[in-house]
Amino acid sequence: MTKTGTRRWHFISSRRVWASPLLRWAGSKRKLLPHLLASIPETFNRYVEPFAGSGCLFFALRPKHAVLGDINHELIDAYEVIRRHPRRVSRAVACLGTEKQTYYELRSADPTSLAAIDRAARFVYLNRHCFNGVYRINRAGAFNVPRGTRTGQVPTERQFYRCSVALRSAELRPVGYRDCLSDLCGGDFIYLDPPYASRRRNTFGEYGYDCFDEEQLPDLFSLLHLIDRIGATFLLSYCQHAAFAELPARWHKSTLTVRRHVAGFAHHRRTVRELLVSNCPLLHSQSPQK
């Protein structure tokens, strides 16, 4: 570990993680958390995460000022409601049974017809009981993930409360990454975790049909250059991809080997190589070429 990384990791682990993600999320970076925590700058003014998902780095860090964005407006809406009414949402979730029928009835409900508390409770319930925390919609925009066999427990009232406290420091933006990053400033720290390249995702509506795909990598790279120019720091996680060869050699890259589910199947895992890129030094960084 670099000296900076060691210090930050000890600081975070000595505080213990006070709030953890409320949601299960396909593509969550829980396994990479020690590497991510060791790779963030010592100081920054504002934390910005435009592909927030379950926000595992955000909840571990609990920054004083943050922007969390995601194109999934149902997700951001759930965070908004939980922030304001953690106990009411928790109780609404706890009232729902665990039967298969309850899951499919809730799944078929139109969220726009529900009051805010019920809408957030439905979102959390489906997330905790669906197949592997996958978020997938059909062409009409309706959530269509089947119920999982090993369904997750619902979060406790204390977990809802802590999530709400952590979210008080965050501005929540239900927008695409470009709009989320429209007011970047020097001194910001931006953590980018876009969906990795996958044909399956585009075909089946995982993360939604307007989800980021690999054709947008050049656009994302142009944003990295902008972030670097204005004096902000970025950390990007992605799967290994040939396009990364075109990034400036002075940026830091680190390759990690992680065991992941294949296509969301818990019994089918494989080892994948993931990449961290940053304009500040990384844990186990490959030395930038001069």
> For ligand SAM, which stretch binds (CB under 6 A), given 118-126, 157-165, 189-197, 244-252?
189-197
Q: Pick one of 5, 12, 22, 28: the residue that binds ligand SAM (CB under 6 A).
A: 28
Please state the closest distance from residue 16 (CB atom) to ligand SAM, in A.
19
Q: Pick one of 37, 38, 44, 53: the residue that binds ligand SAM (CB under 6 A).
A: 53
The residues near 33 (Cβ < 8 Å, ≥ 6 apart) are: 56, 57, 60
- Give 50 or 86: the residue with its C-beta nearer to ligand SAM: 50
For position 207 contacting ligand SAM by CB under 6 A, the verdict is yes
What is the rounded distance in angstroms from the CA atom of residue 72 to the CA atom of residue 180? 12
Please state the closest distance from residue 230 (CB atom) to ligand SAM, in A.
20
What is the maximum alpha-carbon separation in the chain? 61
DSSP 199: H
8 A C-beta contact, residue 268 and residue 222 = no
> For ligand SAM, which stretch binds (CB under 6 A), given 165-173, 192-200, 221-229, 282-290?
192-200
Whole-angstrom CA distances from 106 to 73, 92, 101, 132 are 18, 13, 9, 18
The residues near 233 (Cβ < 8 Å, ≥ 6 apart) are: 40, 41, 44, 188, 189, 190, 227, 278, 279, 280
Please state the closest distance from residue 77 (CB atom) to ligand SAM, in A.
13
Q: Pick one of 37, 67, 68, 71: the residue that binds ligand SAM (CB under 6 A).
A: 71
Q: In which residue are the tokens 């929540």 written?
A: 172
For position 59 contacting ligand SAM by CB under 6 A, the verdict is no
| Residues in touch with ligand SAM (CB under 6 A) | 25, 27-29, 50-51, 53-56, 70-72, 176-177, 193-195, 207, 211-212
